[in-house]
Chains A and B, each alone.
Chain A
Amino acid sequence: MEKLADTVRGACFLSILALLTGCRGASDAQPVKGDPAAGKIVITRQACGSCHTIPGIELADGLVGPPLIHFASRQMIAGALPNSPSNLAAFLRSPQSVVKGGAMPDMGLTSRQARDAAAYLLTLK
């Protein structure tokens, strides 16, 4: 019920936004977009950089997992999922359900945090 309310609210917001922006791209608007700037903070706070090298994140020079450079151009996430904003957010919420027994743990990100982190990684062309 609450989800429905959220969807309705989101739709209202998007239609108002579409009116304000002259209806440009109202059809291809994502339901909820991540915020790359907020994602940068999520990535810093979650210490992603102790295992991954990530452009634009201070001290993110880890070499346990793969470097995340050019992430937006990557075809696959963890070699298992086609790279897309929603797949990436789902993977970040629970890496273990994609690569069970992998070294990357479930960090308990909220869906908002996962979307934001994904949005940042997808700025890395």
Chain B
Amino acid sequence: MIPRRIRPLLLGWLAGIATAAIAGGVFAGLVLFAGIYNTGADNQHLRIVAWAFHRTMTSSVKRRTQPLPADALRDADVLAGARDYEMHCIACHGGPGVARAAWTSALLPTPPYLLDSARRWSPAELTTIVRDGVKMTAMPAWSEVAPDRKVDDVVAFLIAMRRLTPAAFARLRAQAATGTAPLRPGSAASEASQ
């Protein structure tokens, strides 16, 4: 049935598969039970591993992002977003002229500053990340603990942050600490550029 000339090749192929399976099994055993993979956060990823994790996250976010409803960000309250950012985001992500909390440099992966997050991600993608979080990082799925409206507010603030000078950010933080009047998208950005 199998031509005689192919048979040795086929045998070699099967032997190769068996070898790979055994090597894979041994490697899995060493990782799972002998602890050869260091999960300590003091141990930096190899560059290729860091790249692969980040690439995986980026692809996952893009695949799971749905177009935003047209009114999602129009009705968002930038000042409320700034207030939530101040409460829940600034420690890990900092802001214009504001450093992250010192301990965040000890996180692996370490959380990024978000000054150009609106350049890196579309509003819909930012919504996916804030809403769903990122597995195996310290980024929580905020939709588990906050209504979607708040996610929209924070995303509107992230978009406004792109144009915030450090001075405008400081003013907005002060305003967020005291003010209660809603601030619509556009007004924060126009205020920031003044």
Residues of B within 8 A of A (CB): 44-45, 47, 50-51, 54, 94, 96-100, 102, 104-106, 110-116, 119, 165-167
Contact B119 A63 (CB under 8 A): yes
Closest CB in chain B relative to A64 CB, distance in Å: 4
A:63-119 near B, CB below 8 Å: 63-64, 96, 101-108
Chain A interface mostly: loop
Q: How far is the CA of A25 from the CA of B131 in the complex (A)?
A: 58
15 sampled A-B residue pairs with Cβ under 8 A: A47-B100, A50-B113, A50-B116, A51-B116, A58-B45, A58-B50, A58-B54, A62-B115, A62-B116, A64-B116, A102-B97, A103-B165, A104-B97, A105-B97, A106-B99
Contact A103 B50 (CB under 8 A): no
Neighbour of A44 across the interface among B98, B100, B110, CB < 8 A: B110
Across the A-B interface, how many residue pairs have beta carbons closer than 8 Å? 62
Closest CB in chain B relative to A37 CB, distance in Å: 11
Q: Which residues of B contact A107 (CB under 8 A)?
A: 99-100, 105
For the complex, is A46 an interface residue (Cβ under 8 Å from B)? yes
